[in-house]
Amino acid sequence: MFALKRNKSGSTKLAMAGLAALMVILSACGDNNAGNAANSTAGSTTAPSAEATAAPSQGEAKTVTDAMGHQVSIPVNPQRVLASYLEDHLVTLGVKPVAQWSVPNGIQEYLSPELKEVPTISYDLPLEAVTSFAPDLIIVDSESAVQNGLYDQYNKIAPTYVLGDAVNKDWRKALTTIGDLLGKSAEAAQAIKDYDQKAAEAKEKLASVAGGQSAAALWLVQKNFYLVDETRASGEVLYKDLGLASPNLVTEIPADQRATWNPISLEKLSELKADHIFLVNSDKSDSSEILNSATWKSIPAVKAGHVYELSSNSTWLYSGATADSKTIDDILKFLVKQ
């Protein structure tokens, strides 16, 4: 979901406090190596099926196989779901989790209307905290989140299902899988259909005003710039869903070095040939020097006045039906000026 990832939405965004939190975010965006924003994510594989391997009778749990090969007994109609950093999917499905993901300085604020009364839990899911929420189902986004024996410890608290990086980096697969787990397959399918229709309509509007034009999404945090990958988070929305062109610096990132958000120097940004720049500014108090520099002002899109600043609370760092829909709204607001 989030964008500097773990993962990703998914975005996390926020003006993070400290490098450790930043690395979580970088990880949360989809990069499987949370310690290196430039590392590539795991290759795509077929999503593990959440369909029951043994058909349950009414009132009986169903057994499914997760990304790590665990046989997981999923309760019928779970009431206390813990799915940290997967809340976009739960909200889309109309499910309120027992606790919501957080880092020291924030939460996924775009979900606040739906989750305003939901308590927080630290992104690293401390065992004592997990136990205190008494979940009846735990869904984990990544294999790395349950290393060193953590899976067995979580599974003692409640049935634990690991989505896996290959599924988690594709929000449609993740939403479909979670919908299957929670008995909400129809809701997941409808949400994807609704999103795809909205994206198609937005693409048509953009073609009439920005056809053939390029755009880049940048994240400024702790005085460092990151450039979104063309297949993840807001990059997927810009280039795949809405058909805007990928500018040179996006297409030039080596395939084996791609993360959801890729570090890039200000000097390198001066070479950016993009018609539009969407800037997620998480450095409100520290960015004035950078954004007033001659190098920044020399970028063609900046000189043309085609920079659209977004707050650190925006959805551009995440992915999911809810996040991406709001990102589409932002793009239409700035480029179509409805």
Enter the pTM of the model: 0.85
Say how many domains are in the chain: 2
| 29 vs 287 pLDDT, higher one | 287
Q: Is residue 54 included in any domain, yes or no?
A: no
- For the chain, what is the mean pLDDT? 86
Q: Is 5 a residue whose pLDDT tops 80?
A: no
Sheet strand arrangement including 261-264 = 261-264, 224-228, 215-221, 276-281, 307-311
Q: Is 226 a residue whose pLDDT tops 50?
A: yes
**Predicted confidence band of residue 59 (pLDDT cuts 50, 70, 90):** low
Last-in-domain residue among 186, 212, 229:
186
Q: Is residue 197 included in any domain, yes or no?
A: no
| 144 vs 16 pLDDT, higher one | 144
Based on the fold, state whether residues 179 and 235 are members of the same structural domain: no
**Predicted confidence band of residue 1 (pLDDT cuts 50, 70, 90):** low
Based on the fold, state whether residues 298 and 323 are members of the same structural domain: yes
- Residue 178: domain span: 62-186
- The 3-state DSSP class for residue 228 equals strand
Based on the fold, state whether residues 167 and 230 are members of the same structural domain: no
Based on the fold, state whether residues 157 and 81 are members of the same structural domain: yes
The CATH number of the domain holding residue 236 is 3.40.50.1980
How do residues 244-279 score in pLDDT, each as one tens digit? Answer: 999 999 999 998 889 999 999 999 999 999 999 999
**Predicted confidence band of residue 67 (pLDDT cuts 50, 70, 90):** very high
> Could you tell me which residues come within 8 angstroms of residue 87 by beta carbon, excluding any fewer than 6 positions away?
97, 100, 101, 108, 111, 115
Residue 157's pLDDT is 98
Q: Is residue 86 included in any domain, yes or no?
A: yes
Mean pLDDT of 319-330: 98
Mean pLDDT of 109-115: 97
Residue 169's pLDDT is 93
In this structure, what token pair is assigned to residue 233?
A: 């988070």
Based on the fold, state whether residues 242 and 170 are members of the same structural domain: no
Residue 105's pLDDT is 82
In this structure, what token pair is assigned to residue 108?
A: 């996924």
Residue 289's pLDDT is 87
Q: Is residue 318 included in any domain, yes or no?
A: yes
Q: Is 231 a residue whose pLDDT tops 80?
A: yes
Mean pLDDT of 79-83: 97
**Half-sphere exposure for 265 (CA within 13 Å, toward CB):** 2
Based on the fold, state whether residues 157 and 274 are members of the same structural domain: no
